[in-house]
Amino acid sequence: MPKAKKSPAKKAKTLTKDDFIQKGSKLPKDPKAPAPKVSAYMYFSQDEREKMAKKNTTLDFTAAGTAIGKAWSELGPSGKKKYEALAAKDADRFDREMAKYKPSAKFAAELEACKKSSKYQPRLKKDPAAPTKPSSAYLFFTGEARAKLAKDKKHKNKSMTELSVVMGQMWSDMSDKDKAKFNAQADKDKARYERELKSYKPTKAWLEAKEFLEAKKAKAKSKTPEAQAAKAAAKDKEKVKAIKEKQKTVTAAHKAAKTAYDKAVREKAKAEAAEKKAKEKVKALEAKMKSADSDLKALGVAPKKKPAAKKPKKPAEPVDIVEAVTVSDKKRKAPAKKASGKKKKK
């Protein structure tokens, strides 16, 4: 008997960031708002469903929708013209009503509150690669207690909420010795989680989804009146800080200039005092000299005259080296004069 061929294994779906984003609940609609526009396909679908109802078609809602979709795709432009005209007319109606529409203050407030609520915000799904979080001692206890209570006739027909109340009371009445078993299980599970967490590598698409939602949340938060006010306050704070820093710099420069100026004034005063003192000393010495000259004259001794100041020597004229050498050569070449025979008279 021939072996049956194995069907090829299906390729694993490549996950994207959208696969890890859970959409939030739809925002409430204003009952007084204009009815939404009806598309050409919706008009066609209404006609087809009415025809099916008259023919007593046994197709369920999903199968009927599939049949209507196929019929719409096979319908030519001339067949669609009627429905497109109805859709255009309804679009005009919607635009006219929307121009007059203004939501009530009550609904606007409700809508804003819903937008801030986490229920209506997109959420991050769990990463399948992430380790399961550890269970608490109480959860280990309820897992065991629920099975026992389900067999107990007294609690058999109780709801989950009622059973939770009973188990909560049982846990609070339990002694530490009886809880030790469940605490040990919790410690063991915590160690398992920490061990798995060390080797855990987040899925790339999950990380992208996490970053996307965080950026979206931060952007939405920055647009709130509170965030705008905080931003403006921070900006004003920075301005005040800059002004204070500038004042500090100018004050330091002014202080340095004042210190230098005061020092220069003191030095000038010191120099002027020294100059005055020197002049007074010279004046005293001159008076003393005059007194001494008078005393010498009285004794008949002429005072010594001050020696005349020596005139500075004139600098030697520069010697022409070429001329000096030439003169020296001539003296060497000149013949010596013969000595005269006559002796000079003494």
Q: Is the pLDDT of residue 346 over 50?
A: no
Contact 209, 21 (CB under 8 A): yes
- Which token pair is 239? 């301005």
pLDDT in tens, 103-143: 889 988 988 888 888 888 889 999 999 999 999 999 999 99
274 or 344, greater pLDDT: 274
Contact 217, 209 (CB under 8 A): no
Q: Which of 6-15, 141-150, 229-238, 296-305 has the lowest mean pLDDT?
A: 6-15
What mean pLDDT is predicted for residues 321-333?
Answer: 55
Query: Mean pLDDT, to the nearest integer, of 293-317?
Result: 68
The residue assigned the tokens 């987040």 is: 202
Which CATH code fits 137-223? 1.10.30.10
Model pLDDT, residue 9: 54
**Distance between CA atoms of 280 and 311, rounded to whole angstroms?**
31
For residue 319, pLDDT over 60 is answered with: no
Can you give the pLDDT at residue 84?
A: 94
- 133 phi/psi in degrees, rounded to 5: -65, 150
- Check pLDDT > 80 for residue 245: yes
Question: Does the pLDDT at position 344 exceed 50?
Answer: no
**In whole numbers, what is the pLDDT of the chain averaged over residues?**
83
Distance CA 121, CA 22 (A): 9
Strands 123-124 and 21-22: antiparallel
| Residue with the larger pLDDT of the pair 289 and 186 | 186
Mind spelling out the 3-state secondary structure of 199-233? CCCCCHHHHHHHHHHHHHHHHHHHCCHHHHHHHHH
Q: Does the fold of domain 137-223 match that of domain 24-122?
A: yes
- Percent residues over pLDDT 90 in the chain: 33
For the question of whether the overall pTM of this predicted structure is more than 0.75, the answer is no
Q: Dump pLDDT digits (tens) for 147-191.
A: 888 888 787 778 888 889 988 999 999 999 999 999 999 999 999
Report whether 143 contacts 189 (CB < 8 A): no
Q: How far is CA 205 from CA 76, 168, 197, 255, 299, in A?
A: 42, 40, 19, 61, 124
Query: What confidence score (pLDDT) does residue 97 get?
Result: 92
Structure tokens that stand for 37 in this block: 């526009």
Q: Name the percent of the chain lying above pLDDT 70.
A: 83
* Residue that the structure tokens 């432009």 belong to: 77
Confidence check: pLDDT of 197 > 80: yes
The three-class DSSP label of residue 124 is: strand
Looking at the DSSP bridge assignments, the partners of residue 270 are none
Q: What is the DSSP letter of 21?
A: E
Report in angstroms the alpha-carbon separations of 209 from 118, 125, 130, 132: 17, 9, 15, 20
* Amino acid at position 128, single letter: P
Q: Give yes or no for a contact between 156 and 49, defined as CB atoms under 8 angstroms apart.
A: no
The Cβ-side half-sphere exposure at 225, using a 13 Å CA radius, reads: 1
147 or 324, greater pLDDT:
147
List Cβ<8 Å contacts ≥24 apart for 34-39. Answer: 34/93, 34/94, 34/97, 34/98, 34/101, 35/94, 35/97, 36/94, 37/87, 37/90, 37/91, 37/94, 38/86, 38/87, 38/90, 39/87
Q: Compute the distance between CA of residue 238 and CA of residue 225 in angstroms, rounded to an integer.
A: 20
State the Cα–Cα distance between residues 205 and 17, nearest whole angstrom.
Answer: 5
Categorize the per-residue pLDDT at 95 as very low, low, confident or very high, splitting at 50, 70 and 90.
Answer: very high
> Could you state, in order of their start, the residue ranges of all structural domains in the chain?
24-122, 137-223
Cβ atoms of residues 129 and 210 within 8 Å: no
Asked whether the predicted pLDDT for residue 207 surpasses 80, the reply is yes
Q: Is 123 helix (H, G, I), strand (E, B) or coil?
A: strand
Write down the pLDDT at residue 53.
82
Region of poorest pLDDT, from 68-72, 240-244, 315-319: 315-319
d(CA 96, CA 104): 18
Angle at 280 between CA 275 and CA 282, to 5 degrees: 95
* Residue 59 pLDDT: 72
Q: Domain 24-122 adopts which CATH fold?
A: DNA Binding (I), subunit A (1.10.30)
